[in-house]
Structure 1
Amino acid sequence: MQYMLLMAAVPDAPAHEPDRTPPTEWVEEMQRRDVDRGGYRLRLPDETRTVRVQGGETAVVHGPYAEVAEQVAGIGLIEAADLDEAIEIAAKHPSARLGAIEIRPLWSE
């Protein structure tokens, strides 16, 4: 099953930790395991817009929808046998130590 990993960043988190595993090492390991399906960093929240259509009217709000300190900073797509493996994969990502990673299964056809 495929899962999307939403990497959340915390605004006051340090930019670098001395013992932090670089994301490239995580990507290389996941590619070796053949579970990596791609991923992308996202631009800053101030460049984000949220779009809603209600009653035929389009409303555009500046910024992300969530009113929280943590904001989604990137996404990753993985292939995992089950949720337990997806959790194990997400826990190894460096972002899990500085913010949070939300795991969402994708609809399959």
Structure 2
Amino acid sequence: MRYMLLIYNDEAATANAPRDKTEQVLAAYGAYTEALKKSGAWLAGDRLRPTQAAASVRMANGNTNVLDGPYADTKEQLAGFYMIEATDIDTAIEWGGRCPAASTGTVEVRPIWEMTEYLSEK
């Protein structure tokens, strides 16, 4: 089954981190990504640009409403993701716990609802 590991961090703290700390974090993510790839669990993953570069889109009464930045003002922002293959939720949670963000922010582990499952339920 595929899972998303959604990485949430305080982007202001990340932006203001000392250079040596940033380099340590990037090295930790490099090692984590390599471990995922070597295990065969890695399917995709990337870092996201800061929320100032985001736009939120909603449709209301046939009109497209665009809001610059994220929709929610929260302490932690979605900073990146990994899509992994795991045999079960416990294995996915183990990978989530190994993610560097788990020690500084939050890693949300969410199963992907495969469209083939949805279509077969109808």
Do the two structures share a fold, i.e. TM-score over 0.5?
Answer: yes
More strand by share: 1
Q: Which residue of 1 aligns with 2:7?
A: 7
TM-score, length basis structure 1: 0.90
Alignment of 1:29-68 (within 5 A): 29-68=35-74
CA distance in 1, matches of 2:47, 2:100: 13
TM-score, length basis structure 2: 0.81
1:102 pairs with 2:108: yes
| Overall identity of the aligned pairs, in % | 35
1:49-89 Cα deviation digits (max 9, x unpaired): 00000110110011111220100010110001111111100
Q: Work out which of the two has the higher radius of gyration on C-alpha atoms and give 1 or 2.
A: 2
CA distance in 2, matches of 1:19, 1:37: 24
Gaps of 5+ in 2: 117-122
**Which consecutive aligned stretches of 4+ in structure 1 deviate over 3 angstroms post-superposition?**
17-21
Q: Which residue of 1 aligns with 2:28?
A: 22
More helix by share: 2
Give the residue type in structure 1 aligned to 2:38. R
Q: Number of aligned residue pairs: give it.
A: 109
Gaps of 5+ in 1: none
CA distance in 2, matches of 1:57, 1:18: 44
